[in-house]
Structure 1
Amino acid sequence: MSVYSFQAKLSSGEEISLETYKGKVMLIVNTASQCGYTPQYEGLERLYETYKENGFTVLGFPCNQFGEQEPGSNEEISSFCSLNYNVTFPIFQKIDVNGKNAHPLYQYLREQAPEDSDLDKEGAFYKIIRDKMPELLEGSKIRWNFTKFLIDKNGNVLKRLAPTTKPEVIAGDIKKLLVK
């Protein structure tokens, strides 16, 4: 099994198989339009523009499970991303990433990478989650918006990165995977 085993609906409503991205390095991200990390769309788009010709893509999955920071419709979300951040990478329909209604792709991603490989347990983000929403630290739950999963060309989940990780920090890993 790999990420290619799953299907998802683009914001337009078109259902596609993730096998469409076979042979590409992927960065799968749960996103939100009204989050403190929303400006990461800019960095994600820059990564996409820089490396898309070499076999890289970003896949954005809007989610409203964290502070209700993604309240819009799929059409509104797509428009927001385009107008405010010139996003051209694929944006999918809004999904749940945790709980009984979690999208099967995210259930799989959480199983494959149950922990943020770079979560700073001394940092402010971790302390806020620990003090105000400790249930998000249980098991493999996604901690917040803009958690990132790096996927290799064979559909293997390599690592899960914390919401606080800026997209540009991942560029080195992407470059290495593209030359393999």
Structure 2
Amino acid sequence: MTGVFDFEAPLPGGGVQPLADWRGDVLLMVNVASECGFTPQYAGLQTLHERYAAQGLRVLGFPCNQFGGQEPGDAEQIRACGLNYGVTFPVFARIEVNGAGAHPLYRYLKEQAPGALGTRAIKWNFTKFLVGRDGAVLERFAPQRKPQDLAGAIEQALAAARPDDVR
């Protein structure tokens, strides 16, 4: 069975990060942009990262320039934006989330958790996907949903047993 942990994410300096490195953790995956009206959500995402990291939450940022050209910079400019918000969670290389060039991870996320009315396309920056410890996509959240509003769903996902726990 395919799950999120079967994918890799491109690193800003080249190479890839296997998502399997976070097997057993809960992931909050977000397509981010530096020049978006939702960019201040970086601060809320960082707060979630700090609050729940010890329990196994990993926030992962995926820069995307497909919505209004709001992520036009190079890797260093993208990193600088994250630093403005105190971001310490991983922010990967820029990817596409829609269309023929969509990263395979985002094709999978959209298939597993369609948006409103069953639409698959990502509508804007800061769409969020919550992934359980087993790599299954649990829920998709619209860009307007503030990170702090996800605490209940995150806590529920964190409360689930790790896949390797013996009962």
Tell me the TM-score normalized by structure 1: 0.85
Give, in whole Å, the separation in 2 of the partners of 1:167 and 1:46: 8
Distance 1:90 1:11 in 2: 10
Identity score, percent: 53
Change (3 A) 1:138 1:73: farther
Would the alpha carbon gap of residues 177 and 30 (structure 1) be closer, same or farther in structure 2, given more than 3 Å must change?
same
Aligned residue in 1 for 2:128: 148
After TM superposition, where is structure 1 displaced by more than 6 Å over at least 4 residues in a row? none
3-state SS of paired residue (2:29): strand
Structure 2 CA distance, aligned partners of 1:167 and 1:13? 29
The Cα offsets for residues 33-57 of structure 1, whole Å up to 9 and x where unpaired, read as 0000000000000000000011001
Query: Does the CA-based 8 Å contact 1:12-1:75 persist in structure 2?
Result: no
Partner of 1:59: 60
SS at match of 2:61: strand
Please say if residues 4 and 22 of structure 1, whose CA atoms lie closer than 8 Å, have aligned partners that are also in contact: yes
For the pair 1:114 / 2:94, whether they are aligned, the reply is: no
Q: How many residues align?
A: 159
Q: Secondary structure at the match of 1:57?
A: strand
Where does the alignment leave 5 or more consecutive residues of structure 1 unmatched? 117-136
Report how far residue 10 of structure 1 moved: 2.2
Q: Structure 2: where are the runs of 5+ without partners?
A: 161-167
Q: Within the alignment, does 1:43 sit opposite 2:44 as a pair?
A: yes
User: What is the distance in 2 between the residues matched to 1:11 and 1:47?
Assistant: 23
TM-score in terms of structure 2 length:
0.92
- 1:61 maps to amino acid: F
CA RMSD of aligned residues (A): 1.3
Bigger mean CA offset, 13-22 vs 62-71: 13-22
- Deviation of 1:139 after TM superposition, in Å, equals 3.4
Contact (CA 8 Å) 1:64, 1:70: kept in 2 or not? yes
Higher helix share goes to which structure? 1
